[in-house]
Amino acid sequence: MLMLSGLMLWNAASAGAAGNDPEELRIGYQKSSVNLLVARQLGLVEREFPHTRVQWAEFAAGPQLLEALGAQALDFGMTGDTPPIFAQVAGRDILYVGVEPPKPDSSAILVVPQSSIKSLSGLRGKRVAFQKGSSAHYLVLRALARAGLQYTDIQPIYLAPADARAAFENRSVDAWAIWDPYWAAVEHASGARVLASGEGLSDNNSFYQSTREFSDRYPETIHSLLRLLTEADQYLRAHPREASTLVAAATGLTPEATNTFLSRRPPSPVQPLTPSVIAAQQAIADAFVTAGLIPRSISIAAAVWQPTARLSHDAATESR
Protein backbone atom coordinates (compact mmCIF):
# COMPACT_ATOMS: atom_id res chain seq x y z
CA MET A 1 0.00 0.00 0.00
CA LEU A 2 2.90 2.38 0.73
CA MET A 3 4.27 1.97 -2.78
CA LEU A 4 0.81 2.30 -4.35
CA SER A 5 -0.10 5.40 -2.38
CA GLY A 6 3.25 6.97 -3.26
CA LEU A 7 2.66 6.40 -6.96
CA MET A 8 -0.87 7.79 -6.73
CA LEU A 9 0.52 10.89 -5.03
CA TRP A 10 3.11 11.36 -7.77
CA ASN A 11 0.52 11.00 -10.53
CA ALA A 12 -1.90 13.39 -8.84
CA ALA A 13 0.85 15.94 -8.28
CA SER A 14 1.95 16.04 -11.91
CA ALA A 15 -1.51 17.18 -12.97
CA GLY A 16 -1.08 20.47 -11.10
CA ALA A 17 2.30 21.43 -12.48
CA ALA A 18 1.17 24.25 -14.76
CA GLY A 19 1.36 27.75 -13.33
CA ASN A 20 3.99 27.01 -10.70
CA ASP A 21 7.04 26.33 -12.83
CA PRO A 22 10.43 27.80 -11.93
CA GLU A 23 11.92 30.53 -14.09
CA GLU A 24 15.13 28.50 -14.31
CA LEU A 25 15.81 24.77 -14.04
CA ARG A 26 19.44 23.60 -13.81
CA ILE A 27 19.95 19.88 -14.38
CA GLY A 28 23.18 17.96 -13.75
CA TYR A 29 23.87 14.70 -15.53
CA GLN A 30 26.64 12.20 -16.24
CA LYS A 31 27.41 9.94 -19.19
CA SER A 32 25.71 7.17 -17.19
CA SER A 33 22.45 9.15 -16.81
CA VAL A 34 20.63 7.41 -19.66
CA ASN A 35 17.14 8.67 -18.88
CA LEU A 36 18.40 12.24 -18.57
CA LEU A 37 20.44 11.88 -21.78
CA VAL A 38 17.43 10.63 -23.73
CA ALA A 39 15.15 13.27 -22.22
CA ARG A 40 17.62 15.97 -23.18
CA GLN A 41 18.13 14.70 -26.71
CA LEU A 42 14.36 14.49 -27.25
CA GLY A 43 13.71 17.89 -25.69
CA LEU A 44 11.20 16.43 -23.22
CA VAL A 45 12.00 18.85 -20.40
CA GLU A 46 11.90 21.94 -22.58
CA ARG A 47 8.56 20.80 -24.02
CA GLU A 48 7.11 20.23 -20.55
CA PHE A 49 8.31 23.59 -19.22
CA PRO A 50 8.07 26.00 -22.18
CA HIS A 51 8.33 29.10 -19.96
CA THR A 52 11.33 27.83 -17.96
CA ARG A 53 14.95 28.43 -18.91
CA VAL A 54 16.41 24.89 -18.82
CA GLN A 55 20.17 24.55 -18.40
CA TRP A 56 22.08 21.26 -18.62
CA ALA A 57 25.53 20.59 -17.12
CA GLU A 58 27.60 17.44 -17.52
CA PHE A 59 29.76 16.11 -14.67
CA ALA A 60 32.46 13.46 -14.65
CA ALA A 61 31.00 11.65 -11.63
CA GLY A 62 28.47 11.89 -8.83
CA PRO A 63 30.65 13.57 -6.18
CA GLN A 64 31.33 16.53 -8.46
CA LEU A 65 27.65 16.80 -9.37
CA LEU A 66 26.52 16.80 -5.75
CA GLU A 67 29.13 19.37 -4.83
CA ALA A 68 27.46 21.69 -7.35
CA LEU A 69 23.99 20.75 -6.11
CA GLY A 70 25.01 21.39 -2.51
CA ALA A 71 26.39 24.78 -3.52
CA GLN A 72 22.99 25.72 -5.02
CA ALA A 73 24.50 25.74 -8.52
CA LEU A 74 22.08 22.98 -9.64
CA ASP A 75 18.46 22.13 -8.92
CA PHE A 76 18.28 18.47 -9.93
CA GLY A 77 20.60 15.62 -10.85
CA MET A 78 21.35 11.91 -10.81
CA THR A 79 24.15 9.94 -9.15
CA GLY A 80 24.94 6.46 -7.93
CA ASP A 81 24.43 5.20 -4.38
CA THR A 82 27.53 6.45 -2.60
CA PRO A 83 27.84 10.16 -3.57
CA PRO A 84 24.72 11.27 -1.63
CA ILE A 85 26.07 9.52 1.48
CA PHE A 86 29.32 11.49 1.34
CA ALA A 87 27.35 14.67 0.57
CA GLN A 88 25.10 14.14 3.59
CA VAL A 89 28.10 13.53 5.85
CA ALA A 90 29.58 16.79 4.54
CA GLY A 91 26.45 18.63 5.66
CA ARG A 92 24.97 19.33 2.24
CA ASP A 93 21.19 19.71 2.44
CA ILE A 94 20.34 17.38 -0.44
CA LEU A 95 17.28 15.16 -0.72
CA TYR A 96 16.69 11.84 -2.46
CA VAL A 97 13.63 12.39 -4.66
CA GLY A 98 13.55 9.23 -6.80
CA VAL A 99 15.33 5.98 -7.62
CA GLU A 100 15.82 3.63 -10.56
CA PRO A 101 15.99 -0.18 -10.20
CA PRO A 102 19.34 -1.79 -9.30
CA LYS A 103 22.02 -2.16 -11.97
CA PRO A 104 24.59 -4.58 -10.47
CA ASP A 105 25.87 -5.58 -13.92
CA SER A 106 26.75 -2.00 -14.82
CA SER A 107 29.90 -1.67 -12.70
CA ALA A 108 33.07 -3.71 -12.38
CA ILE A 109 36.62 -3.94 -11.13
CA LEU A 110 38.90 -4.23 -14.17
CA VAL A 111 42.45 -5.30 -14.86
CA VAL A 112 44.36 -5.21 -18.13
CA PRO A 113 44.25 -8.46 -20.14
CA GLN A 114 47.87 -9.36 -19.32
CA SER A 115 47.54 -8.71 -15.57
CA SER A 116 48.81 -11.33 -13.17
CA ILE A 117 45.89 -10.60 -10.85
CA LYS A 118 43.44 -13.49 -11.23
CA SER A 119 41.11 -13.01 -8.26
CA LEU A 120 40.00 -10.39 -5.78
CA SER A 121 42.50 -11.67 -3.23
CA GLY A 122 45.20 -10.68 -5.70
CA LEU A 123 44.42 -7.03 -5.01
CA ARG A 124 46.44 -7.17 -1.78
CA GLY A 125 49.10 -4.47 -1.93
CA LYS A 126 47.95 -3.30 -5.36
CA ARG A 127 47.10 0.17 -6.64
CA VAL A 128 43.36 0.36 -7.26
CA ALA A 129 41.97 3.44 -8.99
CA PHE A 130 38.47 4.80 -8.48
CA GLN A 131 36.58 8.02 -7.86
CA LYS A 132 36.48 8.71 -4.13
CA GLY A 133 32.94 8.84 -2.78
CA SER A 134 31.47 7.18 -5.89
CA SER A 135 29.55 3.93 -6.31
CA ALA A 136 32.86 2.37 -7.37
CA HIS A 137 34.22 3.20 -3.92
CA TYR A 138 31.54 1.02 -2.34
CA LEU A 139 32.11 -1.73 -4.92
CA VAL A 140 35.77 -1.86 -3.88
CA LEU A 141 34.81 -1.99 -0.22
CA ARG A 142 32.45 -4.94 -0.81
CA ALA A 143 34.88 -6.74 -3.09
CA LEU A 144 37.64 -6.54 -0.50
CA ALA A 145 35.31 -7.93 2.15
CA ARG A 146 34.44 -10.86 -0.11
CA ALA A 147 38.16 -11.58 -0.54
CA GLY A 148 38.81 -11.36 3.20
CA LEU A 149 40.84 -8.16 2.79
CA GLN A 150 40.73 -4.84 4.62
CA TYR A 151 40.67 -1.45 2.96
CA THR A 152 44.19 -0.91 4.27
CA ASP A 153 45.35 -3.95 2.28
CA ILE A 154 45.22 -1.98 -0.98
CA GLN A 155 46.63 1.31 -2.19
CA PRO A 156 43.57 3.38 -3.16
CA ILE A 157 44.28 5.83 -5.95
CA TYR A 158 41.54 8.45 -6.06
CA LEU A 159 41.01 9.56 -9.65
CA ALA A 160 38.09 10.87 -11.70
CA PRO A 161 37.05 8.48 -14.50
CA ALA A 162 39.00 10.06 -17.36
CA ASP A 163 42.21 10.28 -15.33
CA ALA A 164 41.67 6.77 -13.99
CA ARG A 165 41.33 5.38 -17.49
CA ALA A 166 44.58 7.03 -18.55
CA ALA A 167 46.36 5.62 -15.49
CA PHE A 168 44.84 2.19 -16.13
CA GLU A 169 45.87 2.05 -19.77
CA ASN A 170 49.35 3.38 -18.93
CA ARG A 171 49.72 0.65 -16.25
CA SER A 172 50.18 3.30 -13.55
CA VAL A 173 47.57 1.44 -11.49
CA ASP A 174 46.92 -2.28 -11.18
CA ALA A 175 43.12 -2.25 -11.22
CA TRP A 176 40.26 0.14 -11.89
CA ALA A 177 36.79 0.14 -10.31
CA ILE A 178 34.36 1.87 -12.66
CA TRP A 179 30.83 1.96 -13.98
CA ASP A 180 29.27 2.10 -17.43
CA PRO A 181 29.68 3.63 -19.92
CA TYR A 182 33.36 4.09 -18.99
CA TRP A 183 33.62 0.33 -18.53
CA ALA A 184 32.07 -0.37 -21.94
CA ALA A 185 34.37 2.17 -23.59
CA VAL A 186 37.60 0.66 -22.25
CA GLU A 187 36.29 -2.86 -22.78
CA HIS A 188 35.96 -2.23 -26.50
CA ALA A 189 39.11 -0.14 -26.74
CA SER A 190 41.55 -2.45 -24.95
CA GLY A 191 39.78 -5.65 -23.93
CA ALA A 192 39.94 -4.91 -20.21
CA ARG A 193 39.35 -8.03 -18.13
CA VAL A 194 36.67 -8.16 -15.43
CA LEU A 195 37.92 -9.19 -12.01
CA ALA A 196 34.44 -8.82 -10.51
CA SER A 197 31.22 -7.11 -11.49
CA GLY A 198 28.73 -5.65 -9.06
CA GLU A 199 26.65 -8.83 -9.16
CA GLY A 200 26.32 -10.09 -5.59
CA LEU A 201 28.34 -7.14 -4.29
CA SER A 202 26.48 -3.91 -4.97
CA ASP A 203 22.94 -3.12 -6.16
CA ASN A 204 24.37 0.00 -7.81
CA ASN A 205 21.16 2.00 -7.47
CA SER A 206 20.78 5.27 -9.34
CA PHE A 207 19.22 8.11 -7.34
CA TYR A 208 17.74 11.44 -8.34
CA GLN A 209 18.43 14.33 -5.98
CA SER A 210 17.37 17.91 -5.49
CA THR A 211 17.96 20.55 -2.88
CA ARG A 212 15.51 20.87 -0.01
CA GLU A 213 14.78 24.47 -1.01
CA PHE A 214 13.95 23.64 -4.63
CA SER A 215 11.90 20.52 -3.90
CA ASP A 216 9.90 22.31 -1.20
CA ARG A 217 9.21 25.27 -3.48
CA TYR A 218 8.51 23.28 -6.66
CA PRO A 219 7.22 19.81 -5.71
CA GLU A 220 5.10 19.57 -8.86
CA THR A 221 8.18 20.28 -10.98
CA ILE A 222 10.04 17.40 -9.32
CA HIS A 223 7.13 15.05 -9.95
CA SER A 224 6.93 16.13 -13.58
CA LEU A 225 10.66 15.59 -14.07
CA LEU A 226 10.49 12.07 -12.67
CA ARG A 227 7.51 11.27 -14.88
CA LEU A 228 9.39 12.56 -17.92
CA LEU A 229 12.39 10.39 -17.07
CA THR A 230 10.18 7.32 -16.94
CA GLU A 231 8.82 8.36 -20.34
CA ALA A 232 12.41 8.58 -21.60
CA ASP A 233 13.05 5.05 -20.37
CA GLN A 234 9.89 3.84 -22.10
CA TYR A 235 11.09 5.47 -25.32
CA LEU A 236 14.41 3.67 -25.01
CA ARG A 237 12.64 0.32 -24.63
CA ALA A 238 10.24 0.95 -27.50
CA HIS A 239 12.87 2.42 -29.87
CA PRO A 240 16.21 0.78 -28.96
CA ARG A 241 17.97 1.62 -32.22
CA GLU A 242 17.00 5.29 -32.16
CA ALA A 243 17.75 5.57 -28.44
CA SER A 244 21.18 4.00 -28.94
CA THR A 245 21.92 6.64 -31.57
CA LEU A 246 20.81 9.38 -29.18
CA VAL A 247 22.99 8.05 -26.35
CA ALA A 248 26.01 7.66 -28.63
CA ALA A 249 25.61 11.25 -29.82
CA ALA A 250 25.29 12.53 -26.25
CA THR A 251 28.26 10.59 -24.84
CA GLY A 252 30.69 10.36 -27.75
CA LEU A 253 30.80 6.57 -27.40
CA THR A 254 31.23 4.28 -30.37
CA PRO A 255 28.08 2.44 -31.47
CA GLU A 256 29.57 -0.83 -30.21
CA ALA A 257 30.37 0.56 -26.75
CA THR A 258 26.95 2.21 -26.59
CA ASN A 259 25.17 -1.06 -27.32
CA THR A 260 27.20 -2.87 -24.66
CA PHE A 261 26.46 -0.11 -22.16
CA LEU A 262 22.72 -0.23 -22.81
CA SER A 263 22.61 -4.05 -22.87
CA ARG A 264 23.78 -4.15 -19.25
CA ARG A 265 21.12 -1.69 -18.16
CA PRO A 266 17.72 -3.07 -17.08
CA PRO A 267 14.42 -1.25 -17.63
CA SER A 268 14.72 1.82 -15.42
CA PRO A 269 11.47 3.61 -14.61
CA VAL A 270 11.77 6.13 -11.80
CA GLN A 271 9.99 5.33 -8.53
CA PRO A 272 9.69 6.75 -5.01
CA LEU A 273 12.15 5.36 -2.48
CA THR A 274 10.65 2.36 -0.68
CA PRO A 275 11.56 1.29 2.88
CA SER A 276 13.73 -1.51 1.44
CA VAL A 277 15.67 0.93 -0.76
CA ILE A 278 16.18 3.26 2.21
CA ALA A 279 17.38 0.33 4.33
CA ALA A 280 19.82 -0.79 1.64
CA GLN A 281 21.18 2.74 1.34
CA GLN A 282 21.51 2.92 5.14
CA ALA A 283 23.54 -0.31 5.05
CA ILE A 284 25.97 1.30 2.59
CA ALA A 285 26.38 4.34 4.83
CA ASP A 286 26.95 2.10 7.86
CA ALA A 287 29.56 0.08 5.96
CA PHE A 288 31.57 3.24 5.30
CA VAL A 289 31.35 4.18 8.98
CA THR A 290 32.53 0.72 10.03
CA ALA A 291 35.46 0.92 7.62
CA GLY A 292 36.41 4.30 9.06
CA LEU A 293 35.93 6.01 5.70
CA ILE A 294 33.32 8.50 6.88
CA PRO A 295 33.52 10.14 10.31
CA ARG A 296 30.00 9.71 11.63
CA SER A 297 26.73 7.86 11.27
CA ILE A 298 23.90 9.45 9.30
CA SER A 299 20.19 8.77 8.83
CA ILE A 300 19.30 8.14 5.20
CA ALA A 301 15.59 8.43 5.98
CA ALA A 302 16.15 12.01 7.13
CA ALA A 303 17.34 12.91 3.62
CA VAL A 304 14.44 11.33 1.71
CA TRP A 305 11.93 13.74 0.19
CA GLN A 306 8.50 13.62 1.83
CA PRO A 307 6.28 15.79 -0.39
CA THR A 308 2.92 14.70 1.07
CA ALA A 309 2.45 17.58 3.50
CA ARG A 310 3.45 20.29 1.00
CA LEU A 311 1.31 18.86 -1.79
CA SER A 312 -1.66 18.53 0.55
CA HIS A 313 -1.20 22.16 1.61
CA ASP A 314 -1.01 23.32 -2.01
CA ALA A 315 -4.12 21.35 -2.95
CA ALA A 316 -6.05 22.81 0.00
CA THR A 317 -4.96 26.33 -0.95
CA GLU A 318 -6.04 25.90 -4.58
CA SER A 319 -9.48 24.59 -3.52
CA ARG A 320 -10.31 27.76 -1.56
d(CA 163, CA 180): 15
- The pLDDT value recorded for residue 4 is 34
- Taking alpha carbons only, the member of 79, 259, 64, 241 closest to residue 181 is 259
* CATH for 104-197 (1.10.357.10, 3.90.1150.10, 3.40.190.10, 1.10.1510.10): 3.40.190.10
2-102+205-319 is classed CATH 3.40.50.620: no
- The stretches of 161-293 forming alpha helices (DSSP H) are 161-169, 182-190, 212-217, 219-238, 240-251, 255-263, 275-290
Give dist(CA 69, CA 71) in Å, integer: 5
Block mean pLDDT (10 aa), the chain, length 320:
38 48 97 98 97 98 98 98 98 97 97 97 98 98 97 98 97 98 97 96 97 96 97 97 96 97 97 97 98 97 82 44
Query: What is the reported pLDDT for 267?
Result: 97
Residues above pLDDT 70, as percent of the chain: 90
pLDDT for 308: 63
pLDDT of residue 302: 97
CA–CA distance from 1 to each of 5, 8, 57, 275, 308 (Å)?
6, 10, 37, 12, 15
DSSP at 304:
B
Q: Which of 86, 102, 78 is nearest to 207 (CA)?
A: 78
The reported pLDDT for the residue numbered 198 is: 97
Q: How far apart are CA 42 and CA 40, in angstroms?
A: 5
Structural domain boundaries of the chain?
Answer: 2-102+205-319, 104-197
The structure's pTM equals 0.90
Query: For 283-302, what is each residue's pLDDT tens digit?
Result: 999 999 999 999 999 999 99
